Amino acid sequence: MRVQQRPIRALSMWVRRQPPKVKAFLGVVSGMAALVLLRFIVHDHDNLFVAAEAVHSIGISVLIYKLIKEKTCAGLSLKSQELTAIFLAVRLYCSFVMEYDIHTLLDLATLATTLWVIYMIRFKLKSSYMEDKDNFALYYVLVPCAALALFIHPSTSHNLVNRIFWAFCVYLEAVSVLPQLRVMQNTKIVEPFTAHYVFALGVARFLSCAHWVLQVLDSRGHLLVALGYGLWPSMVLISEIVQTFILADFCYYYIKSVFGGQLVLRLPSGVV
């Protein structure tokens, strides 16, 4: 076991010694390599989007297990859960009035479990809620997302209000994890269940981003035209990429911690 860990540890130490620009370059190269691999392994790229929502549901299930078994919500951000519930509710509404499919059912299940987590944090396990650490102001994300949605939204034939709601949930989803990352940065130590949940979010974001990128590549850019004209098609892709990169740094330390055999994840300053 130690022999297997030596190359991984050596590689990890080498990456840590690199300047930020080199780390960013390595991250981009790794992401592109993963995209190429997925393109050959997954023939129907719509399955990636379903897989992303399934992984998100698994992450929520981990939270439920933590709340039921450990009877504590320490380390969890109520604000992140509330933002998640908001964008899921808006996306669910858009799904019902614009395109009802399998994703609608998945969103409904995820919203129901997210609301249950919010209920547990607010009422049943309130005494263990770290409110002083969960100090991210929600208007920092809600106001910009709403303003951006007013100016940049789909140019489809749907009702204008519905199109603005659609854009709002896309933008909000991209940054909904920020309060959770702030809590982890404030505490510096992340217990296993919370780390598993956030890592699941990172994997889900990557799969969703891979779905859109591969769809654009396969359609040779025609998908962007199908999404509408103006800045909206580009903003959809940018939102997916932003979601992925927001969690990329955390996922790196999570994987490093798992390979190092550490049960508790310790984040260095400035990670988030």
Q: Strand, helix or coil at 264? A: coil
Range name among 65-74, 115-124, 183-192, 207-216 with the lowest pLDDT average: 207-216
Q: Specify if 85 maps to a domain.
A: yes
Q: How do residues 12-46 score in pLDDT, each as one tens digit? A: 666 666 565 555 545 555 555 555 555 556 556 56
Residue 82 CB contacts under 8 Å (≥ 6 apart), including other chains: 118, 138
Residue 7 CB contacts under 8 Å (≥ 6 apart), including other chains: none
Whether the pLDDT of residue 93 is over 50: the answer is: yes
Position with higher pLDDT, 250 vs 127: 127
Range name among 1-10, 163-172, 192-201 with the lowest pLDDT average: 1-10
For residue 78, give the amino acid letter. Answer: L
The predicted structure's pLDDT at residue 224: 53
Q: Specify if 203 maps to a domain.
A: yes
Q: Specify if 97 maps to a domain.
A: yes
Using CB atoms within 10 Å of the CB of residue 166, give its burial: 0 to 12 exposed, 13 to 18 middle, 19+ buried.
Answer: buried
Partners of 190 in the β-ladder: 265
Q: Specify if 131 maps to a domain.
A: yes
Looking at every residue in the chain, the average pLDDT score rounds to: 78
Q: Specify if 14 maps to a domain.
A: no
Q: How do residues 137-155 score in pLDDT, each as one tens digit? A: 999 999 999 999 999 988 7
The predicted structure's pLDDT at residue 3: 46
CB 55 within 8 A of CB 200: yes
Q: What is the C-alpha separation between 220 and 206, in angstroms, rounded? A: 21
The predicted structure's pLDDT at residue 121: 94
Range name among 51-60, 68-77, 168-177, 263-272 with the lowest pLDDT average: 263-272
Q: Specify if 6 maps to a domain.
A: no
Q: How many domains does the chain have?
A: 1
Which token pair is 271? Answer: 């990670």
Q: Specify if 11 maps to a domain.
A: no
Q: Where are the alpha helices (DSSP H) in 99-136?
A: 102-119
Q: Specify if 13 maps to a domain.
A: no
β-pairing, 265-266 vs 189-190, is antiparallel
Averaged pLDDT for residues 83-101? 85
Name the residue range of residue 45's domain. 32-260
> Is the pTM for the entire model greater than 0.85?
no
Averaged pLDDT for residues 53-77? 87
Position with higher pLDDT, 156 vs 8: 156
Averaged pLDDT for residues 107-115? 89
